[in-house]
Chains A and B, each alone.
Chain A
Amino acid sequence: MTALLEVKNMTHYFGGLRAVNDFNLAINPGQIYGLIGPNGAGKTTVFNLITGVYTPTEGSVTLEGNNIKGVETHRIASMGLGRTFQNLALWRHMNVIDHIRMAHYSQLSYGLLGAFFGTPTMRKQEKEVYDNSYRLLEIFDVNQFATQNIGNLPYGAQRRVEMARAMATKPKILFLDEPTAGMTPDELVRMIEIIKQVHRDFGVAIFMIEHRMKFVMELCESIQTLVFGEVIAEGPPEEIQNNPEVIEAYLGKEDLH
């Protein structure tokens, strides 16, 4: 089986600083994969390199066998990569349902004239988008907020809207950058259930950056640990949790105490 997302020997420099060194990754369709590491390890940089925000200095990145290195973000998104952000990238002052409708952008094929004269194609597509948007809001349990401005929602609900928005682009792989940051323990448990449901219903592969071990242990089949731009350990969660190098990276060397 060929991997859905494959990164080979990816290295990136910011000026003279080597931010990511020889990063390799292969995620199969439907797999949930975790990326952990201390602050400043370069986790978000890895996300940005794969999603086309930066172009890697060296290495190759392919999605379903197609090169996506150096490809513009909007094209990579259309090829089936969805993403959420660590600090939320929502459109304040836009309501919840418009967020999800917006995410259907590349699925709407009507032209400018169609938009102005309200052709049947346009109406049909817009209706489908509306229905699909409400369905997604239900799955992510935010349908009660549909017509509210995003800024008025509780933080956890905002995160779920962002994830619903990413799912609306019909991704084959979903990148989640710290999906539980700032969440209460209740919201955390709910998020685990939602991710499990999304994974089951949509069969989407997930690549996530996450700090909370409970979350990672519960969801991920495999984990990579990144420290100073280098992968120091890779394997199933139980193995990673007991790996002395990983413990050292997070807590420091034992003899320092």
Chain B
Amino acid sequence: MLEEDTPIVTATGVVKRYGGRPALDGATFAVGPGITGLLGANGAGKTTLFGLLLGLHHPDEGALSVLGLDPRHSGAEVRALVGYSPEHHTLPPDIRAHDLVRHIAEVHGLPAREATARASDALWQVGLGEERFRPFGTMSTGQKQRVKLAQAIAHDPALVLLDEPTDGLDPVQRDDMLALIRRVSHEFGLDVVLSSHLLEEVERICDAAVILAEGRVVRAGPLRELVGADGGLLVDTDTDPAGFVAWLAARGLDVRTDGWRLQVAAAGAAVPAGPSDLYDLVRDGAVATGTGIRRLVERTVRLEDVFLEVAE
């Protein structure tokens, strides 16, 4: 049994190469309870990471731990505790949703009678009532995503891995699916790792994020640490700010410019760190250089900013 503060997943320097090309290159991160978003463009290494977490292939270097187990040596034990929803929607079209979910629950070790009951419950919980007896191939993309979610939770896993769970959904269906995933974590008490290339949906429902780019983990941590106020200021001036920028930089501040818009942040320990001190310095600089200020606000960082910063 895991302690409450034990990470669900830890990766330490994980390297995985295919044909000499690194799919994962020294990934180090920890995933805690709740919903964690695995963010990255196509080819960033998200699906490779899922495969490693499930013990389907093994890292060339580094170590992984899932629910306190090493997937390299305890793959079957890990997989018994994990529910997995694949990215594709091409499951056998002639199998009924209920039969599919029941069968996957049985394969995860549930006795037949229990698997049958839990399949009905899981499909009901994801919003499929009478539709559960329809063949998979006759369902809409939204219903298929729900069936995939149901088969991932029916055997009561400790961790649910969802690969692109909103792929192919329209905006309304996507909202419903995100609400459902939030419910799975917050109401059902299951920890979730979902992969996505959509920043907005990770920002909306995740408690933490791991951002992958070209096989490297470029940011990881709770969302409240990755986004929100970063202690810097956003300043819009009404004239060319060159003198103002020089004045601020001379006082050790990190200043980035985008036309007449400035992003001002403390750059080191020698300069004031708090926003209120920054406000004072900006005020003094504006007065000293005769620069008019149209807007002065605390800077907030969104996942998009993190992503763009990484891309740069």
Partners in one complex: no
Chain B interface (Cβ within 8 Å of chain A)?
Answer: none
Chain A interface (Cβ within 8 Å of chain B)?
Answer: none
